[in-house]
Amino acid sequence: MAAALVVAALLAGCGGTRPEAPPQAPVAPLPPARVDPVVPPVKIGLALGGGAAKGFAHIGVIKMLEANGFKPEVVAGTSAGSVVGALYASGMDPFQLQEHAVSLDEASIRDVRLFSGGLVQGLALQDYVNEQVGKRPIERMRKPFAAVATRLETGERTVFVRGNTGQAVRASSSVPGVFEPVTIGSYQYVDGGVVSPVPVDAARELGADFVIAVDISSKARGRRPDGMLGIVNQSIAIMGQRLGEQELTRADVVIRPNVLDYGSADFTRRNQAILEGEKAALAALPQIREQVRKLQAQRLAQAREKQARADAAKAALAAPATVACEDDGWRWNPLKKKDEACGERR
């Protein structure tokens, strides 16, 4: 009987109901992952200065920039810088530029006219540039391009961004006293180095966010220049030196190849000039990387702030509107219905 009672007690315990598990608190949904706004890459612009035969250094700078992932999207040039800039903007890569530089015959771009006092006409340079760029006008270049010249009648800076490419380069390169002034329309134009030795502002006007300036201009350093072209170039450099210094402060990075001792008409040192351009650009790469990184980070921070403001405005619009209620007498007037949006009044 005792065993039977034990078995009965066990069966009674098994038949009982299980205790219910305590209710679990609802799990809050995870907030959506924050996605950074898309910020376009920094648009790099080149400002290539004037300096006659020293302009071959521009090619070395372009070679080193592209080899390290910095591909300029817009190009502005003055004088020799406009020649290199036009060829580069037409779609030539740095190695093609170097091939053309090595094979360039100086005599093919120097057309002296005796009856004009021995000045270079400049038409040969114009034809050479137009041939190299496939006779494309400035507005049809692969990259936005500007050639800077000086209007002779007023001394104003003129930026050519459309029209005959070779003619604009010829105007930009017409060193006073060496080249004949170039007539375009009803005005005459001379070398852009008189008013803008390194065209930083022109590169900005083309839409560059970040301007790399290449300064190869002659400086008055107490030395006597060699030859007529050297004298004229140094005279122009002295006239435009103060303006050039002011404009260079508006560049993000300034590269100065070590070609100041090169003669303005010394085409025999073109390979050394290219090498000096490479060396100067290589030395400037850490600064360029850091400045581009800072600019990109600043633009990302601004985009995030703008997105946060937009999200806050959107959330405010989505929130239920608070209805301002006034006592319309529904408590005392049984014929008047209560405004349900206002809720109970106390």
**Residue from 239, 145, 228 nearest 191 by CA:** 239
Among the listed residues 79, 90, 174, 196, the single catalytic one is 79
CA-atom Rg of the chain in angstroms? 36
Other residues' Cβ atoms within 10 Å of the Cβ of residue 338: 13
Please state at what angle helix 57-67 crosses helix 94-103, rounded to 10 degrees: 160
Among the listed residues 82, 172, 173, 191, the single catalytic one is 191
How far apart are the C-alpha atoms of 30 and 26, rounded to whole Å?
Answer: 12
How far apart are the C-alpha atoms of 249 and 112, rounded to whole Å?
Answer: 38
Containing 112, the helix (H) or strand (E) segment is strand 112-113
How far apart are the C-alpha atoms of 54 and 267, rounded to whole Å?
Answer: 8
Is 93 in the active site?
no
For tokens 């301007």, what's the residue?
Answer: 211
Judge contact between 208 and 201, C-beta under 8 A. no
Give the single-character DSSP code of 176.
B
Is 191 in the active site?
yes
Judge contact between 47 and 189, C-beta under 8 A. no
Residues that are catalytic: 79, 191
